[in-house]
Amino acid sequence: MKGISSLIKLLGYALALLIFLVLLIEIFSLTSDLGQGNFKAKIANIECIPENDGLKFNIEVSYNGQRVLKNFKAFLKIKNITLKSHSINLGHNETANLTIKVPLEYLGNVIYGNSSLLLGFEFNYDGIIPLKIAFRDFKDAYGIKIEPLKVGYTAYNSECSVTMNATIINYLPLEIHGKVVFTVLNYSKTSNITLMPCNTTVLNLPLVNVPKEDLEKGVAFSINLLVKGKVVSSRTIIIKI
Amino acid sequence: MGKSIIKGVLKGLGTSIVTIIIPLWLISSIGGYFEKSLYESFKTEYVFTVEYNVEAYFATIIFLSIIIGVLEESRVWKVLGKSLRLALFIISFLLIYTLLESGIFSRTVIVDNVAVEVTIDLRLILYAYGFLIVLPTVIATLMEIFPLSSLKK
């Protein structure tokens, strides 16, 4: 009886040691992949889906390591709801595109509510270690973007009159009613704005007189878009002559 | 008497090192190594601190295991010693379970002002420890206890 019990123990310990060693090697490889930035995921583009009033996130993923990432999925987490892409196996030096469709009602929660949006990806490293990496508050990647279009100025003795145009790109299939707050030094102007779904709106900002010496150092022109009092997009442009 | 005490001490020490200390040290090293490299990989400003004070647990487990080893060598307390050995295994399994946060590590790091939540599932280690170390030892100990207790009757 003692012989059998010793054999059971020995077999168990030997197998456990083997598993620990395998895990140790895998973890070492995983951390070196993390250190070298071998996993990459970026939003390639965002498309509006007219038929179901949703949004399609096209995510480009790539892996430059030596192992295989099994069941690789991208996911978006809105509040408690997780939307996942289809899964793929990503091998050495492979790039793939994944798509996540987000229905309109969830997007409304992000823009008008206080729901956070997390973008992430999950996979089984070499089919052994499940790993999940999620990025919080990736505001710049989705929704509404403010881009400067044209800046012009007329110089006087000690002042400069600066005019600026910007565009607000609404990637969302939602009509958005909000306020644009334009701030330069002590000057601030708030105006109402309506952004059409999946459309670009040109913003003609008021002419501002700025002291020449300030402009030589660089002046920050801030544009904030507020929806229901919450900043949904902002952009600061430093203008210097 | 003295000989059996020395034998019990050595047995307790050896058993605790092979079945508890080495696996626990390996597991905490794997977890700690992953956590440390995570912060280094993402080049965050977070200062890494070793969270696992396993030395204190090691000392307690070794001490208890030695006492249990001595009891196991005694003719009178043999069954009690083996029963306590089982209890120690179950306690050490729970300890590892707690240290490993149920096998799922979740850490938040800041990269370029964006919070990144990294979750690694290391439940396989717990399964390996539970099914390949704790379970065979429990079965083997029970196989040793039953003949002893039936002899007493």
Q: For B57-113, what is each residue's pLDDT tens digit?
A: 788 888 898 898 888 888 888 888 888 988 888 888 887 777 767 778 777 777 666
Rounded to whole angstroms, how far apart are CA atoms B33 and A23? 12
Provide, rounded to the nearest whole percent, the portion of chain A with pLDDT above 90.
Answer: 15
Q: pLDDT band at B50, cuts 50/70/90? A: very low
B90 to chain A, any CB pair closer than 8 A? The answer is no
B112 to chain A, any CB pair closer than 8 A? The answer is no
Nearest Cα of chain B lies from the Cα of A115 at a distance, in angstroms, of 16
Residue B149 identity (one-letter amino acid): S
Which B residues in the span 26-55 are in contact with A, Cβ-Cβ below 8 Å?
Answer: 26-27, 30, 33-34, 37-38, 40-42
Mean pLDDT (chain B) is 78
Nearest Cα of chain B lies from the Cα of A207 at a distance, in angstroms, of 33
Rounded to whole angstroms, how far apart are CA atoms A109 and A151? 35
Instruction: Give the residue among A219, A182, A187 at the shortest CA–CA distance from A204.
Output: A182
Q: Do B122 and A23 touch (CB under 8 A)?
A: yes
A43 to chain B, any CB pair closer than 8 A? The answer is no
- Return the ∠ at Cα B65 (arms to B59 and B66), rounded to 5°: 90
Rounded to whole angstroms, how far apart are CA atoms A28 and A32? 6
Q: Do A23 and B124 touch (CB under 8 A)?
A: yes
- The alpha carbon of residue A42 and the mean position of all alpha carbons in its chain are separated, in whole angstroms, by 8
On whether the CB atoms of residues A200 and A225 are closer than 8 A, the answer is no
Instruction: Give the residue among A134, A32, A131, A153 at the shortest CA–CA distance from B108.
Output: A134
What are the strands, taking DSSP E only, across chain A?
Answer: 39-49, 54-63, 69-78, 81-84, 88-90, 94-102, 117-125, 129-136, 144-155, 159-170, 176-184, 187-195, 199-211, 219-227, 230-239
Residues in B touching A136 (Cβ below 8 Å): 114-117
Q: Strand B104-111 to strand B114-121: parallel, antiparallel, or no bridges (unpaired)?
A: antiparallel
B99 to chain A, any CB pair closer than 8 A? The answer is no
Q: Do B119 and A134 touch (CB under 8 A)?
A: yes
pLDDT at B129 over 80: yes
Rounded to whole angstroms, how far apart are CA atoms B144 and A62? 55
Q: Strand A187-195 to strand A176-184: parallel, antiparallel, or no bridges (unpaired)?
A: antiparallel
A34 to chain B, any CB pair closer than 8 A? The answer is yes
Nearest Cα of chain A lies from the Cα of B33 at a distance, in angstroms, of 8
All structural domains of chain A, each given as residue ranges with its CATH number in brackets, are: 38-141 (2.60.40.10), 144-239 (2.60.40.10)
On whether the CB atoms of residues A185 and A219 are closer than 8 A, the answer is yes
Rounded to whole angstroms, how far apart are CA atoms B3 and A124? 53
B140 to chain A, any CB pair closer than 8 A? The answer is yes
Bridge partners (DSSP) listed for residue B118: A133, B107
Between A9, A19, A129, which is nearest B121 by CB? A129
DSSP state of A115: -
pLDDT the model gives residue A142:
58
Q: Do A1 and B114 touch (CB under 8 A)?
A: no
pLDDT at B152 over 60: no
Q: pLDDT band at B26, cuts 50/70/90? A: confident
Q: Do A30 and B133 touch (CB under 8 A)?
A: no
pLDDT the model gives residue B45:
46
Residue pLDDT, tens place only, A38-96: 888 777 777 777 665 677 888 888 888 889 999 999 888 877 788 899 999 988 889 99
Nearest Cα of chain B lies from the Cα of A182 at a distance, in angstroms, of 24
pLDDT the model gives residue B111:
66
pTM for this model (two decimals)? 0.67
Between chain A and chain B, how many beta carbons pairs sit less than 8 Å apart?
109
Bridge partners (DSSP) listed for residue A208: A162
Rounded to whole angstroms, how far apart are CA atoms A70 and B102? 23
3-class state of residue A65 by DSSP: coil
pLDDT the model gives residue A61:
86
Alpha-carbon separation of residue B128 from A142, B8, B119, B122 (angstroms): 42, 28, 20, 10
